[in-house]
Amino acid sequence: MRSTGKLHLGNYVGALQNWVGMQDSYECYFFIADWHALTTDYADTSQVKQNSMEVLLDWLSAGLDPERSTLFIQSHVPQHAELHLLLSMITPLGWLERVPTYKEQQENITGKDLSTYGFLGYPVLMSADIMMYKGEFVPVGEDQVPHVELTREIARRFNQFYKFQDHAVFPEPQSLLTPEPKLPGTDGRKMSKSYGNTIMLTDPEPVVRQKLKTMVTDPARVRRTDPGNPDVCPVGDLHKIFSDKGTNDKVNVGCRSAGIGCIECKSWAADSLVKILNPMQQRRKKYEDNPRLAWDILEAGSAKARQVASTTMNEVREAMGMSLDYAGDGKT
Ligand code: SF4
């Protein structure tokens, strides 16, 4: 996850919530991609570290557990840069120009010059991030699948060229498609910081309630007596994700029959959100009061990641005929 600062509910349901659940079934590596943040925000790096810390605090508050998963920060594992460099040597330019997000982002992110070497090459860095840990599965949403596909192609090409003791160095990773429920922001568009329509994981209860009050609803409900449809209402979407069955039943019946008002319905949605956010915010407080604790978690995770990365890079260097030892067989 890029180090973009505090996370919102969209980040939670689109990724974090799935990751928390995966910890029981997989050996997981989660990292804060501070170098990736530089591919679009390179001019002002003053907030990068603070943004990384905010992401980490939200991870910990949402339930990522350093006892079960490796949590680390990309820039503290410099082997990622080395593998990125080596992979960039074998990656044809055409593969990068074809990545759908390349053109899309260049067109959509205005006010920044994205015609940089780093921006074109960031999918190679992503591939290095995945391949470094010999990742077999990458939890992604639909839009990230092309990046995993590219990683498979790069891994295949590497394995064709180079062998480590007669074996392929890298597995070809697979996308693990994670559910991405539709989560609208307060204005009904996709929740995104750039639209200013977010509900943050750190928003206190009064702020959540206030944001809900101004949230758009089914436009058919102009008057209190007009029936509505929760399936076309952003508040209805929130209920579907966060409210229990009983509340959803009440919303369905009440909205369609004009038996309830939107104000009442929104207060129920706020109740459901607060119920989820409160325990997260309590967990977060422990680390906000003692940020050093969080930093130590990140450092311990980064040290573990460096160990794994170092083993992988020894194999890569030997496979490519550039091992650090005299004989080049990894033994001396
Ligand atoms: S009652 Fe609820 S679901 Fe129906 S339009 Fe109002 S806010 Fe939306």
pLDDT digits (tens, 9 = 90+) for 46-71: 999 999 999 999 999 999 999 999 99
CA 262 – ligand 1 centroid, Å: 5
CA 202 – ligand 1 centroid, Å: 25
Determine how many CB atoms are found less than 10 A away from the CB of residue 306. 17
Distance (Å, whole) CA 298 – CA 301: 5
Flag the least confident range among 7-21, 102-116, 174-188, 310-324.
102-116
| For range 289-304, the mean pLDDT | 96
| For range 255-275, the mean pLDDT | 97
| Tens of pLDDT, residues 155-184 | 999 999 999 999 999 999 999 998 878 799
pLDDT at 110 over 80: no
pLDDT at 331 over 60: no
Calculate the average pLDDT of the chain: 93
pLDDT confidence of residue 181 = 82
- % of the chain residues with pLDDT over 90: 83
β-pairing, 174-177 vs 137-140, is parallel
pLDDT at 90 over 70: yes
Q: Is the CB of 235 under 6 A from ligand 1?
A: yes
pLDDT at 188 over 60: yes
pLDDT at 20 over 90: yes
pLDDT confidence of residue 284 = 96
Specify the long-range contacts of residues 234-237, CB closer than 8 Å, at least 24 apart.
234/184, 234/185, 234/186, 234/188, 235/262, 235/265, 235/266, 235/269, 237/181, 237/182, 237/183, 237/184
pLDDT at 142 over 90: no
| For range 38-53, the mean pLDDT | 90
pLDDT at 329 over 70: no
3-class state of residue 164 by DSSP: strand
Q: Is the CB of 152 under 6 A from ligand 1?
A: no
H or E stretch at 73: strand 70-73
pLDDT: is 105 or 6 the higher one? 6
Q: Which among 220, 217, 219, 145 has a CA at the least distance from the CA of 184?
A: 217
CA 280 – ligand 1 centroid, Å: 27
3-class state of residue 171 by DSSP: coil
The residue whose CA has the least distance to atom 5 of ligand 1 is 218
pLDDT confidence of residue 41 = 83
CA 216 – ligand 1 centroid, Å: 9
pLDDT confidence of residue 228 = 96
β-pairing, 29-32 vs 174-177, is unpaired
pLDDT at 73 over 90: yes
pLDDT confidence of residue 328 = 61
pTM: 0.92
Q: Is the CB of 270 under 6 A from ligand 1?
A: no
- % of the chain residues with pLDDT over 70: 98
